Amino acid sequence: MLKVQRSANGDVVFKVSGRLEANNVSELSALLAVVRFLRAREGNGIALRNCPPYIREWIAREEE
């Protein structure tokens, strides 16, 4: 299970619960690639609507 949490200092934390097996790594990698894809589309001028705040923050940090 993958959980996304915000810590007290404002950082976004991805927490993997249970066992992380080889077939799960590819799934996790795909989820991370989605955020990079959204960032690239936004960079091309496409507006992201209804984007969760943690994804918005992640995109901003990727740009730094």
0.75 cut: is pTM over it? no
- Write out the two tokens for 7: 């810590």
Per residue in 25-42, pLDDT (tens digit) is 887 788 788 888 989 998
Task: Note the pLDDT of residue 45.
Answer: 92
Give percent of the chain with pLDDT exceeding 90. 6
**Nearest Cα residue to 43 out of 21, 22, 60:** 60
Higher pLDDT, 51 or 63: 51
CA distances from 32 to 1, 9, 35 (A): 15, 22, 6
Residue 6, SS3 per DSSP: strand
**Nearest Cα residue to 54 out of 1, 17, 3:** 3
Structural Rg of the chain based on CA atoms: 13
